[in-house]
Structure 1
């Protein structure tokens, strides 16, 4: 009987392909508070805790590799890293190239302006004739290009100083995800404000190479994400960094 119970217990475990200690190279920018950032020489944030929780389930060792956000997709494509944990939005173009995990963050694109300008820029319609900044390599440039008034928006791409240039009036607004923008405004000494409501739903997931090995690693991570959702760990990590659960669709 004990042997049968042991077999039943094993069958109930998540279907990870191996119980290995292989090293997984996880790319992130280290410059996207509060998801991934460096403070007192320590890499931390929601994404760091999330990946460490996955590794605790799968048995993998994790090597965090930081680089500019614009270089992450290229690094994954060339095999220098195994996945990216940096709020990577699922898009048809990316799905055609990579194998994605299930979504683990549900968010929206948000316009941010210099404090005092939120009344004149209260929707994406008001971006006509304006200069709008986005992070280089992010999906927000495409979201702006998909707007009906896209031809009337001057889009600038940035690696850094996107918040500072908006606060100083060098650009009229910037766009990033709703959760990050609210956190940036709360933490920043710069006079910034949210402008209107989020204008596009975003689902973030982990991309992997679309190969046998990449898909196997995706399946291991995906099974772990399911466990973290079901046992409440993912929600706890979200509450720690955001004070709310951003890991479920509204």
Structure 2
């Protein structure tokens, strides 16, 4: 009887220990979120050919927030035009890209607090002797702009241009400007500036041009994901207060 009693007690201790370990494991298990980031938005998001991973400002920021808030992220390369459809369909859980938090987009996705603000930049052929300061001085030109960006509606509404061509990427716009297929191109100013700073190019930024269409870049989640949005905003507030956000921007040459 004593032996059976001992075995019974041992079994009880084992079950209790197993339950405790299961609870502890569950408490420390991290939630993993899929993050969509574009492979062509350097320095905000881009494909690092050395690591074959998506890298950049927004990746560093979402990873810093995840570390603060105790969740894990898997960053997936997602084309710009597919970001919002991928989020709303559940293929990804978070958008971390150079995306403006516009009113029209806010009807479809939920945006975090502001991460960074900027406007559009203007590029022209390197040898073009022009100093446009606004779109009012560009009447009759053929220009290019990236698909899905917030710049398209205001540019179209201005009625100033002979034609507005829509491109999949900034690289395509820069190519056609350099080849003379279009007179000028519009794109995210810090992204254009970063790309032009990295090497010789047949295009240049028009420094005199003043951004007409500015906006706030933010992280996006699904409309019904209020808990995740609150978690991201809390983490964003922490890395902003600690100086980590400014350090990430400085690392990539963004002020």
Q: TM-score range by the shorter chain?
A: 0.7 to 0.9
1:33 correspondence with 2:42: yes
Give the superposition deviation at 1:153.
Answer: 4.4
1:11-36 CA distance string (max 9 Å, x none)? xxxxxxx9761111110111111111
Structure 1 stretches (4+) deviating beyond 3 angstroms?
none
- TM-score w.r.t. length of structure 1: 0.83
1:89 correspondence with 2:91: no
CA RMSD of aligned residues (A): 1.8
Give the superposition deviation at 1:46.
Answer: 0.8
1:100, 1:30 → 2: CA distance?
A: 21
Q: Which has the larger radius of gyration?
A: 2
Q: 2:24 aligns to what?
A: none
Q: 2:215 aligns to what?
A: 202
Q: Secondary structure at the match of 1:103?
A: coil
Give the superposition deviation at 1:120.
Answer: 5.3
Give the superposition deviation at 1:118.
Answer: 5.5
Give the superposition deviation at 1:87.
Answer: 1.0
Structure 1: which 5+ runs fail to align?
Answer: 1-17, 246-250
Structure 2: which 5+ runs fail to align?
Answer: 1-26
For residues 19 and 179 of structure 1, do their structure 2 counterparts lie closer, same or farther at Cα, with a shift above 3 Å needed?
A: farther
1:211-244 CA distance string (max 9 Å, x none)? 1xx11101100100000110000000000001x4
Q: 1:14 aligns to what?
A: none
1:20-57 CA distance string (max 9 Å, x none)? 61111110111111111122123211111111101101
Q: 1:9 aligns to what?
A: none
After superposition, residues 47-196 of structure 1 pair within 5 angstroms as: 47-117=58-128, 119=130, 121-146=132-157, 149-150=158-159, 152-160=161-169, 161-195=172-206, 196=209
My pick for the range that moved more, 174-183 or 217-226, is 174-183
